[in-house]
Structure 1
């Protein structure tokens, strides 16, 4: 009875296989900057080996992703195959505080309404037009 060790893979390579990052070098840079946690512990070495059952926490864009590794994968395949490598534990994004205005059911604002919105935001200091 031989106890085969659990399969492992480099964390930067797994992040790339699971399609969280477009290139492996971007994943390597994220880990090197110390912005990734494995089971709650910050790491800074891209060669850190990870395997099924481990939980990764890292920023992606404006969101923080929390994922549990289910499989290590053999290649960087299509998105459907990549989604089978992990379970997403990330909290749902908070609701937007300022939903898109409906403009009294008229659809998109016209030129006059756009000028009013821009002037109003500039006067009140509301910031971006997001």
Structure 2
């Protein structure tokens, strides 16, 4: 693993900010890859509030830890296909996780973007969260 601040910042910039725009906040733990002047400078440049969980309190970051655990399980299953490189394995794992987590009856994609994701039909057959209702109809 490369946990250098420059690697983390590059990943946040290339994989989130350039695609979706800057988030209002980023919540991190107190690891050195996150708690550094470079990440704070990125936050200042894009008007992003950088927040950290309290030290020695992993329970305060439970949602993030749970998400990473689910993605880790998906990565291990998807990576059983020897023909996939690590970037493709991670992309498929994140896509699968985002497609099927139905908080309040909606996937994360629906809550963030307001519409259903374009998925292969094998992923979408008769899923109630993907049928005829938009997040904006409820929220």
Decide which structure has greater helix share.
Answer: 2
Q: Which has the higher contact order (CA 8 A, sep 6+)?
A: 1
Decide which structure has greater strand share.
Answer: 1
